[in-house]
Structure 1
Amino acid sequence: MKTVHAAWTDTVLVCKKCSKKLDGGFGPKGKTPLAKALRQELAVRKGRKGELGIIEVKCLGICPRNAVTVVTGKAPGDWALVANGAPISDVVRDLGLRSTTPSAGSEGEA
């Protein structure tokens, strides 16, 4: 078996079926899918070279009304139901994700 290295520190699985049902539902205009909004908020590059893997997967089987099911690699036993229109900064905080942008870690520094 061959292996391929990825720079990921965490993985986020986002239900594509839930996102499609909401017709986006996130971002300033409420039309951005959750996975795309998370990538933008966290400044994550697509593919294995990014620090975080945000992957849209087929149905996870929960199918909540007006929400998207999300699973993180750090807490695979705790599935999150992200409400339609939830502020992305709150979603990032609640999922325990961290931004890969340099300015995000400068809070509280003097």
Structure 2
Amino acid sequence: MKTVPARWEATILICRKCSRKLGGGFGKNGRKSLAKALRARGLGGKGRKAGVGIVEVGCLDICPKNGVVAMNAANPGAWLVVPKGADIDAVAERLGLDGERKASRKP
């Protein structure tokens, strides 16, 4: 087996089905999905080189109306139901993202 390094400081899981059903609702014009809006917040990089891993997963079986389910994998006991149009900075704070990514570190 081989180990592949990643620079993620946190892993955020977002329900893909909720995002698809909502059809956007976040960001400046309300047209981005929650995952894209969080990535655009400036957490830097793509894939394993990003500061934070934002992963869309299959249905989490909560299915809120006009909302998306998200969670920080470091705190699996607290799932967050994010209503359409919620402030992305507030969502990031509730998910435990401080927004100030440490300088790029070599694994």
Greater mean alpha carbon deviation, residues 69-78 or residues 39-48 = 39-48
* Aligned counterparts, 1:41-80, within 5 A: 41-80=41-80
Q: Counterpart in 1 of 2:19?
A: 19
Matched, 1:89 2:89: yes
Greater mean alpha carbon deviation, residues 92-101 or residues 73-82 = 92-101
Look up the equivalent residue of 2:27 and give its one-letter code: G
- Where structure 1 has 5 or more consecutive residues not aligned to the other structure, the ranges are 103-110
Distance 2:55 2:76 in 1: 14
Taking a change above 3 Å as real, the CA distance of residues 82 and 54 of structure 1, as seen in their structure-2 partners, is same
The structure 1 segments of at least 4 consecutive aligned residues displaced by more than 2 Å after TM superposition are none
Whether the aligned pair in 2 keeps the contact of 1:14 and 1:56 (CA below 8 Å) is yes
Look up the equivalent residue of 1:76 and give its one-letter code: P
Look up the equivalent residue of 2:36 and give its one-letter code: K
Look up the equivalent residue of 2:38 and give its one-letter code: L
Number of equivalences: 102
Q: Deviations over 1:25-83 (max 9, x none)?
A: 10121110000000111333221111110011111111111110001122111111011
SS in structure 1 opposite 2:48? coil
Q: Percentage identity across aligned positions?
A: 50
Distance 1:28 1:62 in 2: 26
Distance 2:33 2:77 in 1: 24
Distance 2:10 2:43 in 1: 14
Whether the aligned pair in 2 keeps the contact of 1:9 and 1:52 (CA below 8 Å) is yes
Under a length normalisation based on structure 2, what TM-score does the superposition of the two structures give?
0.87
SS in structure 1 opposite 2:12? strand
Greater mean alpha carbon deviation, residues 24-33 or residues 36-45 = 36-45
